[in-house]
Amino acid sequence: MQLLDGKYTAEQIKAEIAEEVVRIKARGGKIPHLAAVLVGNDGASETYVAAKVTDCKQVGFDSTLIRLPADISEETLLGHIDQLNRNPDIDGFIVQVPLPEHIDETRVTLAIAPEKDVDGFAPASVGRMCLGLPTFISATPNGVMELLRRYNIETSGKHCVVVGRSNIVGTPMSILMSRNSNPGNATVTLVHSRTPNMVEICQSADILIVAIGKPDFITADMVKQGAVVVDVGITRVNDSSRASGFRLVGDVHFESVKEKCSFITPVPGGVGPMTRASLLQNTLKAQTLRPQI
C-alpha cells in the first residue's frame, strides 16, 4: 500500500503557485486577490476561513476577509456580493457555507459572478463543468483529480465508485471521473443512502471515492484487493486521550482497509490539504484566465 500524500502534494502545488506569483510580480502583473465572506461566527467556518487567509499569505496572494453579522439580511449580503463582483481588484471570492437559516444559499451562489466563482458552487459553474467548458471546478473534487493526476493513477477504463451524492463532492466527482480526460474515462457508479446493494458495488470498485460523512463507514470487506481508495470524509470524534478532546476520522476505516488497497489517502493529510491548494489554483486561474470564463 502506498499513501496518496495530500499534505506533501499540496505543499508542492503551493510552492509552484508561489513561484508563479514571483514571476507575475517580476513582470509587473496583478497579484491574485481572494476575498472570503464569513457570515456569523460558526467555529468550523472560522477555522476554514482563517486557513484560507493563511494559505494566501503563504503563496504571496492578497486576501481580504469580510466578516458580517449572523443577523444580516439577505439583501444586505447580496449588496456585498454585488460590490465584490464589481471590484476590479478582487479576482475571486467565496462565501463560506453554511449560511444562517434565514439566507437562501442558492440565491447567494446565483449572485456570484461566474468569472469570480473560485468555489465553483454557482449553477453556471456546475453547468459549465458538466459540459466540459472552461470554468472553476469546486475545490474538493478538483483536489482529488489533481492527487490522482500527480500520482499517475490509471483511471481510464476502470470502475470508479463514488459514495455520496452531495452537490459539492459526490455529484461533481462522478461527472469528472466519467469525462473524456485524464484522470477520467472511468466507468462510474454513484451510490447513496438508497442504494440497496452498496456493499457489492463497492467491492467491484477499482477506484473508490468516499464522501458520505460517516466515520469509518467503509470497512475492509467492502474493498477489492488492490483498489485505490480516496477518503473525502473528515469528522471530529470525541477522544479524551487527546489534548484537544477529539480526533479527526475519515469515512474509511483506515487501519483495516490499508492492508487491502494499492493506494489510500490518510485522514488528516489526504484530501483536506488538496482542497485548500485547489482554491489557490482557482484564484490564480481567476487572475490569469478571466476572459475565458
Q: Which residues contact 241 (CB under 8 A, 6 or more apart)?
A: none
Q: Which stretch binds ligand GUN (CB under 6 A): 94-102, 149-157, 212-220, 227-235?
A: 94-102
Distance CA 178, CA 18 (A): 32
Q: Which is nearer to ligand GUN, 10 or 139 (CB)?
A: 139
Q: Which of 114, 118, 96, 122 is nearest to 36 (CA)?
A: 96
Q: Which residue is catalytic, options 14, 52, 158, 258?
A: 52
- Smallest gap from Cβ 138 to ligand GUN, in A, equals 7
Taking the complex as a whole, the smallest distance from the CB of residue 122 to ligand GUN amounts, in Å, to 11
Q: Is-catalytic flag, 96? A: yes
Measure the CA–CA gap between 80 and 92, rounded to whole angstroms: 14
Provide the residue count of the chain: 293
Tell me which of 13, 17, 34, 96 binds ligand GUN, using CB under 6 A. Answer: 96
Stretch that binds ligand GUN, among 10-18, 54-62, 89-97, 173-181 (CB under 6 A): 89-97
**How crowded is residue 3: how many other Cβ atoms within 10 Å of its Cβ?**
15
Site string for ligand GUN, 133-172 (x = CB under 6 A): ------x---------------------------------
Binding segment (CB under 6 A) for ligand GUN, from list 54-62, 93-101, 106-114, 211-219? 93-101
3-state secondary structure 216-271: CCECHHHCCCCCEEEECCCEEEECCCCCCCEEEECCECHHHHCCCCCEECCCCCCH
Task: Kindly list the residues in this chain that would bind ligand GUN in the complex (CB under 6 A).
Answer: 48, 94-97, 119, 139
Catalytic residues: 52, 96, 119
